[in-house]
Structure 1
Amino acid sequence: MERWSGRVALVTGASAGIGAAVAYQLQDHGVNVVAVARRADKIEEAVAQAKKDAKSRGRYHETKAKPGKLYVKKCDLAKEEDILAVFKWIKETLGGVDILVNNAALAKESGLTGAPTGDWKIQLDVNILGLSICTREAVQNMRGRGVDDGHIIHISSVAGHRVSNHKSAMYGATKHAVMALTEGLRKDFVEHKSNMKVSCVTPGLVKTEFRDNLPYYKGMCENLPSLYSEDLADAVLYVLGTPPHVQIHEIIVKPVGEAF
């Protein structure tokens, strides 16, 4: 991770869960982190709490790196103008981005035969279009600065491999799309003879408020084996720390005993 010290990472969905854990770990390793979310006022507290939680579980690893800076920005991934404003700020203030962690996503318990269109649209807007706009802007920024070792990381879900319930079919469809977008970006880098990397980190059940916002799944998964947010942050650090010739295309992280 030493080569990333002093460089800039954009982490979306950083006001809770995996995004907050990724933000604090990158910052601890000397990366300057731009943490964004709709609830920007909750980001600093969430990042600090993620660090405390990791320490309480004996999962916090001290580093020798000088901590990076944390920049907090409000951004609604469903609004292209918000995304463009963040990238404009990064370019003008920090020069550009070297790492993008596309973590922001949402799910609605929305079946395919009775849900309102708005429940489908917001999932498509955030989980697919928001991710794609962030990716486009990050890659264009890197190419414009001559950066050829940047890394794009998509946080996906095992729902991208199989649909477990009809109520999550649209969410699953968006995560299937993330898998296709990961491979499509890899082939784009190959076509451009670029050394940039794209990786997909795919978690199973994780104890976060994301799950708590889905009443059906909260009840079903309450007593099932689960991961913690820092488990996925560790996976992000792993893919970032690989040698220049190694790309982790996808890493699936499941809790021991997961029955899905």
Structure 2
Amino acid sequence: MDRYAGRVALVTGASVGIGAAITQSLLRRGLSVVGLARRVDKVKALALKDAPGKLYALEGDVSNEKSILAAFKWIKDNLKGVDILINNAGLVVESDLSSAPTESWKRMLDVNVLGLSICTREAVQDMLSRGVDDGFIIHISSLTAHLPAFGTETAMYSATKHAVNVLLEGLRKDLVAKKSKIRVGAVSPGTVKTELLNNGKFWPKDLYDRAPYMEPEDVAEAVVYMLSQHPRVQVHDIVLRPNGSAA
């Protein structure tokens, strides 16, 4: 990780859960971290007095292209540009395939797929324009990207995460064709104890009492592992399962 000390990492959805854990993990390793989220006060609270890195809390919404472009402009104007992008922002809306309103599907697609793609495009273009050849793009995907849909209520969410992994491979090939050494990867966790699953009818209220789960810090450690590999190594996808999980 020493090669990234002082460099700029953008973490989307940084306010809570996995995004917050990744933000603090990178701060502890000396990176300048831009935490992007709608709840910017929660991002500001992630600052660590004893960490060598510096936190920049930025308000933004990855479902809104203008908001994304404004965030990248701010980073370019104030920090020169992005060297690492962690596409963590995501949401799950329980939406039956035969009856859900279109808006529920659109919300997930706008954040999980389109917003991720816009952020990726802007980060890659920024890196290429500055001659950054050791940059990194990491998508926080899901175990559901590797499995059939669990049911109709979460099928659209699963579809968005399958899309994330397809986009990852397309990006890898695009960068190879450009003869760029920018690396890409995904971390695909199973159940993680975050607020993502706390607000829904489909998920049982005692989910974390009934099934094994991981903590956000476990996913953050996987991100650090991916970043810390030698530049000749590209860890393409890390699948994390809670120990004892049947899925």
TM-score by length of structure 1 reads: 0.91
- Please list, as runs of the form range in 1=range in 2, the aligned pairs for 1:184-223 lying within 5 A after superposition: 184-219=170-205, 221-222=207-208, 223=210
User: 1: distance between equivalents of 2:124 and 2:15?
Assistant: 24
Q: Which amino acid aligns with 1:165?
A: G
For the aligned residues, what is the CA RMSD?
1.3
- Please list, as runs of the form range in 1=range in 2, the aligned pairs for 1:225-236 lying within 5 A after superposition: 225-236=212-223
User: 2: distance between equivalents of 1:40 and 1:229?
Assistant: 19
Helix, strand or coil: the match of 2:104? helix
User: 1: distance between equivalents of 2:84 and 2:201?
Assistant: 34
Show the counterpart of 2:159.
173
- Structure 1 runs of 4+ off > 2 angstroms? 218-222
Structure 1, unaligned stretches of length 5 or more?
52-61
Partner of residue 145 from structure 2, selected from 150, 160, 176: 160
Show the counterpart of 2:98.
113
User: 1: distance between equivalents of 2:206 and 2:170?
Assistant: 34
Q: Which amino acid aligns with 1:133?
A: I
Show the counterpart of 1:59.
none
Once the two structures are superposed, residues 157-194 of structure 1 have per-residue CA deviations (whole angstroms, 9 ceiling, x without a partner) of 11112211210011000000001001000000110111
User: 2: distance between equivalents of 1:218 and 1:124?
Assistant: 24
Greater mean alpha carbon deviation, residues 221-230 or residues 231-240:
221-230
Show the counterpart of 1:128.
113
Helix, strand or coil: the match of 2:193? coil
Deviation at 1:44, TM superposition (A): 2.5
User: 2: distance between equivalents of 1:217 and 1:44?
Assistant: 30
Partner of residue 256 from structure 1, selected from 231, 243, 246: 243
In percent, how many aligned pairs have the same letter?
Answer: 55
Once the two structures are superposed, residues 77-122 of structure 1 have per-residue CA deviations (whole angstroms, 9 ceiling, x without a partner) of 1100000000000000000010000000011010111000000001
User: 2: distance between equivalents of 1:99 and 1:214?
Assistant: 32
Greater mean alpha carbon deviation, residues 106-115 or residues 209-218:
209-218
Deviation at 1:220, TM superposition (A): 6.7
**How many corresponding residue pairs?**
244
Show the counterpart of 1:98.
83
Once the two structures are superposed, residues 107-163 of structure 1 have per-residue CA deviations (whole angstroms, 9 ceiling, x without a partner) of 101011100000000100000000000000000000010001100000001111221
Show the counterpart of 1:70.
55
Deviation at 1:236, TM superposition (A): 0.2
TM-score by length of structure 2 reads: 0.96
